[in-house]
Structure 1
Amino acid sequence: MAKTVLITGASSGIGRATALYFAEQGWNVAATMRDPLKADPALKHPQISLFPLDVTNGDSITQAISASLSRYKKIDVLLNNAGYALFGPIEAVDNQQIQEQFATNVFGLINVTQQILPAMRKAGEGLIINVSSIIGRMALPYASSYIATKFAVEGLSESMRYELEPFHIRVKIIEPGSINTEFGKGSMQTAVSDPYRVSLAKFLAIFTKRNSGGSRPEEVAKVIYRAANDPSNRLRYLAKPGPFFRLNRVLPDAAWRRLLVKAMVK
């Protein structure tokens, strides 16, 4: 019997690529997004069903999970992928923007997980895969609220795996590096303040350039698929982290800070 994966944020980027890759491997895919009517025609695949799901709306989550279970009877894997990036100096980010960032990237992930766990416990098994980032383990300037959400996902995931182990429900984290995806086409917001304008512009130029040469979403989808089929209790899976992450791991803090400030701030 084919296994089933439920994916949040499947309309574009990593979510879309993962939905297509799992379907090509014979999995049933419950591909969720806020408006399935706007879905990419490529997602009209015989192994894929589209369901409306807004991770910030509890009723929407309930309905999507219920419809997925009605269609497929069981959800073997949940991929918490929905999220977006907010860039800018913390001084320029207002409270509403921070609230919305956490509502999607953290609280939405928690709400979807909470609602799917009863079905997994009843089935006696399951797998939760959370899409984090290498910036869930290292910080960059001008992305403090976004990075805070990824640090939160890392800690949440690590804690949950201990809680869920007695129920044979495993937890895994995907940590992509630079991704050539749609961050510049709706998944990215920017807050600007005059004192930071010049250095923020330099940071965003470097960030955009690195992303344009980064991994394709399809490459990350393959890492997610490998994690979904890995029976071990391994927690973290890097997806082409790149040289910055490697330098962060080996350089002394003072040297790392000098490198980062020179490259991205001054």
Structure 2
Amino acid sequence: MWLKLNKTFFGTGTHIYLCAVYIPPLNSTHTADDLLNLEAEIANYSKYGDIALIGDFNARTGEQADYIENENNSIQFLQDMLPQDYDLDSPIKRNNLDILNQQGNNLLNMCLSSRLRILNGRYLGDSLGYHTYFSKNGCSTVDYAILSKDLLPSVEYFCTSDLNFLSDHVQISFKLKCDIKQYINKKDFNNNNMKKFTTYRWTDVSHGKMYEALNSDEVKNKILNFEITHFVRNEKGINEASKSLTEILDNVASKTCIIKVPIKQKKSKIKKNPWSDNELKDLKSKINNLGKKTKT
């Protein structure tokens, strides 16, 4: 799933195309070559901006380079064939507690061809390249954030969170520098507008309630129906999928958390004097405006 981060809104130098990724393991019965399809989509969106990928790639990359090694030594033989603005790869050390497998090698080749860089093991919050997947058979690093090379100076941190009971994968996150404040319309994001949304508050008993909700037949059936439903890949299909997923999350949250419903505040009616009319109201407004001008 791709999402465009508009450079005007976020205050970035280019548009950023963010993709939530899941690539099945090589031994999966899923026959489509998702990594090749992803590479084709990256080539397309790269024409319009920078790329950011995050998700489960089922790839173990070890400490193998995701850049062209020793490029400076070989570039002298190709100078006549390369454009003048050709940008050499910069070697940036990457730590990783895992080993390399075939899927990882495929992912590294995609990074090389698309000029992408892995954030894991390179930034504050994950300096050693910690494992992201834990099972009874062992642990591995298969979840990555991967960005266009030109975005690396904008990365403030990359973090792998602690394991929790909800998943055998840890949450990964990263932060990019941006400058939203000069573009945002504060009228659209004031506290009054935020108060219109229903909120859910986590409590000490929510842990057990969520476990029960996720194991209920009702929620299981809803999740199953969502997984087997074929949503058309257009705006209508995306809206339908988003609505269906939101209903599932709302169902679980309502059984788990304390719900805070916004209270509609009644506007106090201004008592109108019997001797007042619209003409008098307009005259009062003009006098107030003149008073403001005299103060300035």
Task: Specify which structure has the higher proportion of helix.
Answer: 1
The one of the two structures with greater contact order (alpha-carbon pairs below 8 A, sep at least 6) is 1
State TM-score, norm by structure 2. Answer: 0.29
Q: Which has the larger radius of gyration?
A: 2
State TM-score, norm by structure 1. Answer: 0.31
